[in-house]
Amino acid sequence: MGSEFVALSLPPLLIGTLAAMACALPGNFLLLRRQALIGDAISHVVLPGIVVAFLVTGTIATLPMLAGAACAALLAVAMIEAIRRLGRIEAGAAMGVTFTTLFAAGVLLLERSDTSSVHLDVEHALYGNLESLIWLDATGWASLTDPAALAALPPELIRIAAVFAVVAIAIAAFWRPLKLATFDEGFAQSLGLPTAAIGLGIVTLAALAAVAAFDAVGSIIVIAMFICPPAGARLMTNRLERQIAWSLLFAALSAIAGYVIAGYGPIWAGFSASVSAAGMIATISGLILAWAALAAPHRRA
Amino acid sequence: MSLELATRDGARIAEDLGRSPLALRGLTVSYGGEAAVFSTDMTVAPGAMTAIIGPNGAGKSTLLKAALGIVPSLAGQVTFWGQPLQTARARIAYVPQRASVDWDFPTQVLDVVIMGLYRELGIFRRLRARHIARAMDCLDRVGMRDFAERQIGQLSGGQQQRVFLARALAQEADLYLLDEPFAGVDAATEAAIIAVLKDLRDAGRTVVAVHHDLSTVETYFDRVFLLNRRPVAEGTVAAAFTQDTLQAAYGGRLNEGALVGTA
């Protein structure tokens, strides 16, 4: 069991968990800033961005993907403003229209372009390819200390681990101004804090997490993890520090339980095939939020 | 009083600029093409309590925000003790409108007051026992010591306003700018807040508050600044808070009843 688990299940479990936590972290701040929709937006805009980046560069390396996603995000912001100004349409509606349109354009682009050489297709965009991120060189737990085997770890794992570390360190380092500017922007400005830069910083961290996670686990998990774990966590406590801890716990729980249930649940239930891990992880995160809304200690009256 | 007015409006203006904790010259702020505050001069007197009054939409809050650089101004000059905002920031405490923040935010009363120590703590410095003791002391001054561990969403409007004032006290500033500190608070809170503000003034600090209750102007404040997008009157309460200036600021909207007790 050990060798099979380490080679086949450990990498996707770790990748799913790290991706979920990397998205949940900035999601806490997006939620408190009433910008939860931005997380949704970013995860949609990433698709056309990376497809165009792939068409231009011919690779799916991280840097061009990030650049593509960033360009798409800029385009999205410009489109939203244009729709609001020219069409006199309310901001939320303008956002919704922009992101779904860009995402749909990304799907069309993907269908019409030759991406057969790389792992980039519509299904991948939605569900990711969590189950295929295996560690072929692993022979058992001992491989975790074997440099040769470690070198063959799925690159997605290294990437998402690095991004999670960057997001976590940035939030921890700028904790005080971040919390202050999120709670009371006017007061923060009166102290001379660069609140616009802080807001942009959080959106940038969210975009970084979205791009890295999108690659490994697809947009469904990204969208769910920006919102569900932080929203559930808010209902568990009245302290921001603890809310962050709860959101990480909920994200990890969703990823692990979702992956295991998707892989074994249908078999336990008598069906022959497993279901999408990404879909199950997102569903579990929704169920945790539903539970929190019904039973958590700090629900609002 | 008239002597003071004469000098204030006359030859000593340049000298005043250096002494005045907050001086505006030609401040103009616009929201979407319309002037919210137009070409306004204001010279706040040091060590006094000044009320900024005027009808709804007169630009009172906007004036404070523009002075602090929170909203951009189109034109004009803002100085604090004759210096630009950047130099003077550490000596200024700002209390925003209570309704401007989300009180469901997951934090506790003490945490909010500690935010007032940000200029000392910065991003990295460790929070020590003496910082917490100072924050508790500020809560004590507004009668909120027992609420330190409360989640801010569990407070009444008056208690929330006191917490905001405690945060400003923690800043140990020389100039306090308050935006509607008495809006929607209970009588006990109003009395507690005014006592704290008068203590600050008696200690030589300067207090400027956007105020909307004309009936309390005379008992609470030393000076008034009347604004209706443009400056209408400025001076001591006795000199500038008159039937004429109020009529000029509020026009037909002035409720005579609000002026009971005014000369």
| CATH number of A74's domain | 1.10.3470.10
A256 domain residue, yes or no: no
Number of domains in chain A: 1
Question: Which range among A146-150, A205-209, A281-285, B258-262 shows the weakest confidence by mean pLDDT?
Answer: B258-262
Among A176, A185, A198, pick the best mutation site for testing chain B contact (most B Cβ within 10 A): A176
Written as one letter, the residue type at B36 is A
* Short-list B91, B81, B172, CA closest to B135: B172
Cβ of B65 within 8 Å of Cβ of A192? The answer is no
Q: Tell me if A262 is assigned to some domain.
A: no
pLDDT at A128 over 70: yes
Judged by a CB distance cut-off of 8 A, whether residue A231 touches chain B is: no
- For residue B202, give the 3-state DSSP assignment: helix
pLDDT in the model for residue B153: 92
A300 pLDDT tier (thresholds 50, 70, 90): low
Q: Does A296 touch chain B (CB under 8 A)?
A: no
Q: What is the pTM of this model?
A: 0.87
Position A208 pLDDT exceeds 60: yes
CA distance A270 to B47: 81
Whether the CB of A184 is below 8 Å from some CB of chain B: the reply is yes
With b meaning 16 or more CB within 10 Å and e meaning fewer, what string describes A14-41? Answer: bbbbbbbbbbbbbbbbbbbbebbbbbbb
Give the residue with greater pLDDT, A255 vs B31: A255
Say if A147 falls within a structural domain.
no
Determine the pLDDT at residue A211. Answer: 83
Q: How far apart are CA A103 and CA B219, in angstroms?
A: 62
Residue-level pLDDT at B261? 41
DSSP string, chain A: -HHHIIIIIHHHHHHHHHHHHHHHHHHHHHHHTT-HHHHHHHHHHHHHHHHHHHHHHS---HHHHHHHHHHHHHHHHHHHHHHHHHH---HHHHHHHHHHHHHHHHHHHHHHS--TTTT--HHHHHHTTGGG---TT--SGGGGG-HHHHTTS-HHHHHHHHHHHHHHHHHHHTHHHHHHHHH-HHHHHHTT--HHHHHHHHHHHHHHHHHHHHHHHHHHHHHHHHHHHHHHHHTT-S-HHHHHHHHHHHHHHHHHHHHHHHHHHHHHTT-SS---HHHHHHHHHHHHHHHHHHH-TT---
Considering the domain boundaries, does residue A282 fall inside one?
Answer: no
Residue A278 lies in a domain: no
Q: What six digits make up the tokens of B169?
A: 């006290």
**Which of B111, B149, B208 should one mutate to test binding to chain A, selecting the residue with the greatest count of A CBs within 10 A?**
B111
Question: In this model, does residue A155 exceed pLDDT 80?
Answer: yes
Sequence-distant (6+) residues with CB within 8 A of B107 are A179, A183, A238, A239, A240, B151, B152
Full domain range(s) for residue A203: 2-140+152-215
CA of A29: which chain B residue's CA is closest? B105
Minimal CA–CA distance to A134: which of A23, A285, A263, A267? A263
Could you give phi then psi for residue B25, rounded to 5 degrees?
Answer: -130, 115
Q: Chains A and B: how many Cβ contacts under 8 Å?
A: 67
Distance CA A184, CA B147 (A): 20
d(CA B78, CA B70): 13
* 8 Å CB contact between B57 and B73: no
Q: What is the pLDDT of residue A88?
A: 84
Judged by CB atoms closer than 8 Å, whether chains meet at A179 and B107 is answered as yes
Comparing C-alpha atoms, which of A70, A23, A96 is closest to residue A281? A23
10 Å CB burial of residue A301 (0-12, 13-18, 19+) is: exposed
Q: Picking from A108-112, A238-242, B32-36, which range would have the lowest pLDDT averaged per residue?
A: B32-36
When CB atoms are compared, the residue of B69, B106, B121 closest to A238 is: B106
For the residues A167-184, what does the mean pLDDT come to? 96
Query: A180–B92: do the CB atoms touch at under 8 Å?
Result: no
In chain A, the percentage of residues whose pLDDT exceeds 70 is 97
Q: Return the DSSP state at B257.
A: G
Whether the per-residue pLDDT at A168 is higher than 90: the answer is yes
Contacts of A300 in chain B (CB under 8 A): 104
Token pair in block for residue A35: 């910008």
Q: Which residues, including other chains, have CB under 8 Å from residue B7's CB and lie 6 or more apart?
A: none
State whether A192 and B86 contact (CB < 8 Å). Answer: yes
Asked whether residue A145 is assigned to any structural domain, the reply reads: no
pLDDT value of position A215: 76
In this prediction, residue A193 has a pLDDT band, given cuts at 50, 70 and 90, of very high
Look up residue B239 and give its amino acid: A
Percent of chain A with pLDDT over 90: 39
Note whether B96 contacts A187, CB cutoff 8 Å.
yes
Residue A9, pLDDT score: 86
End-to-end CA distance of chain A: give it in Å, rounded: 48
Q: Compute, in degrees rounded to 10, the torsion defined by CA atoms B80, B83, B84, B86.
A: -90
Residue type, B5: L
Instruction: Give dist(CA A51, CA B68) in Å, integer.
Output: 45
Per-residue pLDDT of chain B (263 residues; tens, 9 = 90+): 444 444 445 445 556 678 899 999 999 998 777 789 999 999 999 999 999 999 988 999 999 999 999 999 999 999 999 999 999 999 999 999 999 999 999 999 999 999 999 999 999 899 999 999 999 999 999 999 999 999 999 999 999 999 999 999 999 999 999 999 999 899 999 999 999 999 999 999 999 999 999 999 999 999 999 999 999 999 999 999 999 999 999 986 555 545 544 43
Q: For residue B111, what pLDDT is reported?
A: 96
Q: Which of A34, A189, A234 sits opposite B106 (nearest CB)?
A: A234
Query: Which pLDDT belongs to residue A7?
Result: 81
Q: What is the pLDDT of residue B168?
A: 98
Q: Is the pLDDT of residue A95 over 50?
A: yes
- Would residue A177 count as lying in a domain? yes
Averaged pLDDT score across all residues of chain A: 87
Domain for residue A287, yes or no? Answer: no
Contact between chains at A179 and B153 (C-beta distance less than 8 A): no
Query: Cα–Cα distance between B173 and A113 in angstroms, integer?
Result: 63
More reliable by pLDDT, A84 or B45: B45
Q: Is A234 left (phi over 0), alpha (psi -120 to 50) or beta?
A: alpha
| pLDDT band at residue A1 using 50, 70 and 90 as cut-offs | low
For residue A224, name the pLDDT band (cuts at 50, 70, 90). Answer: very high
Mean per-residue pLDDT, A120-135: 77
